[in-house]
């Protein structure tokens, strides 16, 4: 099997000061990519800032013989996204790969959620992916090449209690990715999205220790690195990934029923079973983020 390399490519990885982002950055660098390690250095809820986290990952890459620079801007503002891309241009002259990974959590039940819990979560996850990709987009188009990998979540695809804000943002990232794939196609720009299950600062109190040990970030990064490669031309796809397991996730629409124009409420009720059918086959439907994780564990065993 021919080894996949990223020689000559420049990659931006947001939220790369730890967890999944660090793992993505280190792996891409080990295969020859030059890396912009972006991290605001704040806490899990998005408060605070600092340079230490990004600097440590840059040093790790440099010590291993790679090339990397740090960036400390927040992805949640238009200016921050532009500055992150400018860092790549100033240091390496171009940008080829954008891995939108930065994220925060402000979990609270929907009944108790207030604007501060909604606003910043949307801005970091959904706006953040938009801001950084939008700043990179003209350069990807000009080079007639680009790879965008966005990060969704099982919570976004399937829902999760206490995460209405996070779920809304993460499903929005999926919709954004689909449109990027369509608009980028003629410029050789691919866009894909992952829904990872991995132990990180964001999930350390979610997974029990025996499960977290199996769901290391390093088990997600090979998929990211493949999607970022020249060899992969897949686009507009979503993947559930974790613990060595990868599965494509899709939105399905059944054959449906035609009720005719001017149909009544009662017609809808009478044909409900037909409208609900998604057809025969072996497709399995995932009903929640814990079921997603359960499928990963089943595959691992």
The domains of the chain are located at 10-249
State the catalytic residue, choosing from 72, 127, 166, 174: 166
Q: In percent, how much of the chain has pLDDT > 70?
A: 89
Residues 6+ apart with CB under 8 A from 133: 81, 98, 100, 148, 150, 176, 180
Mean pLDDT of 28-52: 87
Mean pLDDT of 63-69: 98
Least confident span in 104-113, 138-147, 180-189, 202-211: 202-211
Fold (topology level) of 10-249? Rossmann fold (3.40.50)
Please say if the pLDDT value at position 204 is more than 60: no
What's the mean per-residue pLDDT of the chain? 91
Strand (E) positions, 162-234? Answer: 189-196
Name the band, by pLDDT with cuts 50, 70 and 90, for residue 214. Answer: confident
Name the band, by pLDDT with cuts 50, 70 and 90, for residue 183. Answer: very high
Residue 260's pLDDT is what? 87
Residue 119's pLDDT is what? 95
Q: Tokens 């965008």 appear where?
A: 148
Residue 294's pLDDT is what? 76
Distance CA 180, CA 174 (A): 10
166 is catalytic: yes
The pairing of strands 238-242 and 245-249 is antiparallel
CA angle 259, 261, 263 (to 5 degrees): 55
Residue 252's pLDDT is what? 82
Name the band, by pLDDT with cuts 50, 70 and 90, for residue 284. Answer: low
Residue 45's pLDDT is what? 63
Residue 208's pLDDT is what? 60
Residue 282's pLDDT is what? 53
More confident residue, 171 or 277: 171
Mean pLDDT of 157-173: 95
Query: What is the CB neighbour count within 10 angstroms for residue 158?
Result: 20
3-state class of 68 per DSSP? strand
Residue among 252, 250, 246, 81 nearest 177 (CA): 250
Query: What is the CB neighbour count within 10 angstroms for residue 48?
Result: 10
Residue 212's pLDDT is what? 59
Please say if the pLDDT value at position 211 is more than 70: no
Name the band, by pLDDT with cuts 50, 70 and 90, for residue 187. Answer: very high
Mean pLDDT of 109-122: 94
Residue among 61, 15, 52, 3 nearest 34 (CA): 61
Residue 177's pLDDT is what? 97
CA angle 13, 184, 157 (to 5 degrees): 65
- Return the CA Rg of the chain: 20
Residue 202's pLDDT is what? 59
Please say if the pLDDT value at position 279 is more than 80: no
Residue 288's pLDDT is what? 66
What are the tens digits of pLDDT across the range 245-267? 999 999 887 778 899 889 999 99
pTM: predicted TM-score of the whole model, two decimal places:
0.90
């Amino acid at each position: 099997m021919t080894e996949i390399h990223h020689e000559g490519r420049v990659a931006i990885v947001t939220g790369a000061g730890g967890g999944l982002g660090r793992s993505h950055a280190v792996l891409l660098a080990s295969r020859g990519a030059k890396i912009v390690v972006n991290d605001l250095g704040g806490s899990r809820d998005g408060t605070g800032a600092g340079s230490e986290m990004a600097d440590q990952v840059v040093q790790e890459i440099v010590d291993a013989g790679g090339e990397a620079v740090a960036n400390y801007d927040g992805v949640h503002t238009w200016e921050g996204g532009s500055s992150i891309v400018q860092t790549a241009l100033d240091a390496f002259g171009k940008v080829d790969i954008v891995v939108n990974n930065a994220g925060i959590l402000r979990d609270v039940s929907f009944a108790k959620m207030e604007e501060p819990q909604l606003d910043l979560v949307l801005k970091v996850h959904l706006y953040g992916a938009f801001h950084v990709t939008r700043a990179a987009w003209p350069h990807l188009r000009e080079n007639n090449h680009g790879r965008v990998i966005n990060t969704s979540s099982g919570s976004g695809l399937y829902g999760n209690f206490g995460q209405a804000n996070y779920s809304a943002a993460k499903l929005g990232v999926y919709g954004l990715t689909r449109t990027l794939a369509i608009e980028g196609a003629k410029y050789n720009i691919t866009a894909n999205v992952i829904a990872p299950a991995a132990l990180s600062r964001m999930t350390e109190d979610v997974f029990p220790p025996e499960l977290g040990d199996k769901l290391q970030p390093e088990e997600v990064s090979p998929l990211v690195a493949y999607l970022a490669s020249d060899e992969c031309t897949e686009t507009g796809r979503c993947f559930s990934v974790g613990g060595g397991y990868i599965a494509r996730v899709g939105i399905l629409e059944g054959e449906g029923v035609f009720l005719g124009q001017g149909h009544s409420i009662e017609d809808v009720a009478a044909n409900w079973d037909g409208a609900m059918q998604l057809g025969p086959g072996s497709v399995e439907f995932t009903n929640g983020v814990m079921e997603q994780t359960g499928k990963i564990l089943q595959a691992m065993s």
